[in-house]
């Protein structure tokens, strides 16, 4: 599976742990994130990941910032992108199962690194249920 990942200054350690785990599982990773704790602008990284997902060069995306919200807001501006902020593995599963989310957004200041890795695994291993949920997902985009 091709995964695009991006993060601001709140997430380098999270990104590195997620990337290590996903590579060990055989996933192909595109890294758009910073490796520094120096302040950067989260939209730059959210847009890069969302572009990969929107254009189909990545199957899924993972974005990371302090709250997970700002970077998700930036990603959600792209056509066919559904970025979901998650803070538990259960929410990560449900956003895939019910909302067909294609980008996981991790709040680095409110989750631990092991939680983030676990969320990424559950997110990527959960299928969209479709059915009654597909009608709802089809109503999300205004673009």
Question: What domains can you pick out in the chain, each with its CATH number?
Answer: 2-138 (3.40.1400.10)
Other CB atoms closer than 10 Å to residue 20's CB: what's the count? 11
pTM: 0.97
Catalytic, 65? Answer yes
In order along its 143 residues, the chain shows pLDDT tens digits of 999 999 999 999 999 999 999 999 999 999 999 999 999 999 999 999 999 999 999 999 999 999 999 999 999 999 999 999 999 999 999 999 999 999 999 999 999 999 999 999 999 999 998 888 989 999 888 85
Within the chain, how many helices (H) and strands (E) appear?
A: 6, 5
| Measured distance CA(76)–CA(89) in Å, rounded | 21
Q: Are 123 and 95 in contact (CB under 8 A)?
A: yes
Provide the token pair at 34: 């910073």
The one catalytic residue among 32, 47, 65, 78 = 65
DSSP per-residue codes, 33-54: S--SSS---HHHHHHHHHHHHH
Look up 98 and say whether it is catalytic.
yes
Query: Which residues have C-beta within 8 Å of that of residue 25, sequence separation ≥ 6?
Result: 121
């Amino acid at each position: 599976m091709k995964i695009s990942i991006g993060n601001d200054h709140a997430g380098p350690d999270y990104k590195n742990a997620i990337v290590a785990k996903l590579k060990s599982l055989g996933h192909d990773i595109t890294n758009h994130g910073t490796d520094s704790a120096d302040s950067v602008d989260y939209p730059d990284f959210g847009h890069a990941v969302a572009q990969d997902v929107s254009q189909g060069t990545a199957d899924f995306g993972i974005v990371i910032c302090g709250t997970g919200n700002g970077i998700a807001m930036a990603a959600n501006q792209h056509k066919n992108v559904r970025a979901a902020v998650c803070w538990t593995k259960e929410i990560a599963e449900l956003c895939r199962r019910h909302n067909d989310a294609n980008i996981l957004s991790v709040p680095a200041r409110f989750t631990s690194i092991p939680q983030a890795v676990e969320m990424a695994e559950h997110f990527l291993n959960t299928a969209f249920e479709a059915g009654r949920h597909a009608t709802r997902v089809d109503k999300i985009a205004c673009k």
